[in-house]
Amino acid sequence: MADENTNGANGNGTADQGPQLQVQKIYVKDASFEAPTAPHIFQEQGQQRIELNLNQKAQQLAPSVYEIVLTVTVTCKVGEKTAFLVEVQQAGIFGLQGFDPQQLDLVIGTYCPNIIFPYARHAISSLIEQGGFPPFLLQPINFEQIYAEQLRRKQQAAA
């Protein structure tokens, strides 16, 4: 019976060196909260309308080191009045090596934002509550679907 190799070694005592991702740092790069119509907005009656805007930016800091910044903006309106506007730029520094260009683009566009998003969601929720508004839970975001849509648009533009 042949020996099974289950520990990732390649037979000569060294580990296989496939693509590697390392989270080096997660941090808030910028955050702002505005309640331009407070305190009067707390007396307003009506249906709240929430607008969500997402943006992502990636930059290479050094060979195999990237900063990914996820900007999440949430605006709440009651009628025509803005109840609050909150924006958080949540960032992460990632070590990414061993990826081919297509894989690297996929990891930067999907995997990294999935790691960063829960931190942004928490920061937004905290700012809204500290602003005197009811608890707010930002729903999960499907970054894979967003990435696929961006690829589709690029292909259509190239055609």
Half-sphere exposure of 119 (CA within 13 A, CB side): 20
Going by pLDDT thresholds of 50, 70 and 90, the confidence category of residue 5 is very low
Going by pLDDT thresholds of 50, 70 and 90, the confidence category of residue 4 is very low
| Interval 21-51: pLDDT, tens | 999 999 999 999 999 999 999 999 889 999 9
For domain 20-89+102-138, the CATH class is: alpha beta
Whether residue 11 has pLDDT greater than 70: no
User: What's the predicted TM-score (pTM) here?
Assistant: 0.84
Q: Identify how many contiguous H helices and E strands the chain contains and give both numbers.
A: 3, 4
Q: List the alpha helices (DSSP H) in 65-111.
A: 101-106
Distances (CA, A) of 97 to 15, 17, 53, 54, 143: 15, 10, 30, 27, 21
In this prediction, residue 15 carries a pLDDT of 55
List the Cα angle 78/72/123 in 5-degree steps.
Answer: 90
